[in-house]
């Protein structure tokens, strides 16, 4: 199997973390989106928006969209399940994946767009956009904080189990810390303890930190 991606891409990292959790070997094909390789005709044929990641099975079957890919990998690969078996707890996992996609990540991207990408382009960050992003992140983190009261993970019975819900949040949280906005996470005790717990996993330690393609 192959993953077309970029090591610094948040969406690629969800797929790589899932594969690391499963202990699965695969071929990584770098598509250097920083150098415009996403816009090549070959890549546009795989991903019409020119984005990464793209998953390709051994028989050539392809799948785009990071959250669809990680669900498919978890459903089909051997290894510890990253999805709760109980239907209500699975629904909770899906709820969190949706909150991450619809509420948390768009606000994080407002912050990263200014404090990371604008700076890389040599532009002054627009702090009104950053503040707007902080408001959205605080709202989502307040919900994380409530959910994580007396629990270790977002979904699963009892104190919960590490699941795709955690994997979907991790790359964005790392980038909040990298651009100096980690306080949004670390100032909330349950969320901070959860982040410490999940970010020390071997799978994440393998994936995190790398920004550039080789």
Q: Which two tokens stand for residue 133?
A: 């992003």
Nearer Cβ to ligand GSH, position 120 or 200? 120
Give which of 57, 154, 138 is closest to 98, Cα–Cα: 154
Task: Pick from 3, 52, 115, 144 the residue near ligand GSH by CB under 6 A.
Answer: 52
**How near is the Cβ of 178 to ligand GSH at its closest, in Å?**
14
**Per-position x/- string for 72-111, each x denoting binding to ligand GSH as judged by CB under 6 A, each - no binding:** ----------------------------------------
Alpha carbon distance 164, 138 (integer Å)? 22
Task: Pick from 7, 9, 93, 148 the residue near ligand GSH by CB under 6 A.
Answer: 9
Q: CB under 6 A: which stretch of 50-58, 147-155, 176-184, 201-209 binds ligand GSH? A: 50-58
Q: CB under 6 A: which stretch of 63-71, 114-122, 184-192, 198-206 binds ligand GSH? A: 63-71
Task: Pick from 66, 107, 191, 203 the residue near ligand GSH by CB under 6 A.
Answer: 66
| Position 114 contacts ligand GSH (CB under 6 A) | no
| Position 11 contacts ligand GSH (CB under 6 A) | yes
Cα atoms in the Cβ-side hemisphere of radius 13 Å centred on 172:
25
Q: State the DSSP code for 23.
A: T
| Position 168 contacts ligand GSH (CB under 6 A) | no
Sequence-separated (6 or more) residues with CB below 8 Å from residue 153: 159, 160, 161, 162, 163, 165, 166, 194, 198
Give which of 149, 132, 26 is closest to 76, Cα–Cα: 26
The gap from C-alpha 97 to its chain's centroid, in whole angstroms, comes to 10
Alpha carbon distance 155, 190 (integer Å)? 15
Binding site for ligand GSH (CB under 6 A): 9-11, 33, 38, 50-53, 65-67
């Amino acid at each position: 199997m192959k993953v077309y991606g970029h090591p610094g891409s948040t969406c690629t990292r969800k797929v790589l973390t899932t594969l690391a959790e499963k202990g699965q070997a695969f071929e990584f094909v770098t598509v250097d989106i920083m150098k415009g390789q996403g816009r090549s005709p070959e890549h546009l044929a795989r991903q019409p928006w020119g984005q990464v990641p793209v998953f390709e099975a051994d028989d050539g079957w392809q799948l785009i969209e990071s959250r669809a890919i990680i669900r498919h990998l978890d459903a089909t690969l051997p290894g510890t399940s990253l999805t709760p078996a109980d239907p209500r707890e699975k629904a909770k996992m899906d709820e969190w994946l949706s909150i991450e996609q619809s509420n948390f990540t768009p606000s994080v991207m407002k912050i990263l767009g200014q404090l990371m990408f604008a700076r890389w382009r040599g532009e002054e960050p627009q702090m009104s956009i950053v503040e707007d992003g902080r408001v959205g992140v605080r709202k989502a983190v307040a919900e994380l904080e409530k959910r994580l009261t007396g629990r270790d993970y977002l979904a699963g019975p009892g104190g919960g189990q590490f699941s795709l819900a955690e994997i979907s949040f991790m790359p964005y949280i790392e980038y909040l810390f990298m651009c100096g906005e980690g306080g949004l996470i670390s100032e909330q005790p349950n969320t901070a303890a959860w982040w410490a717990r999940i970010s020390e996993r071997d799978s994440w330690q393998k994936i995190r930190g790398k920004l550039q393609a080789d």
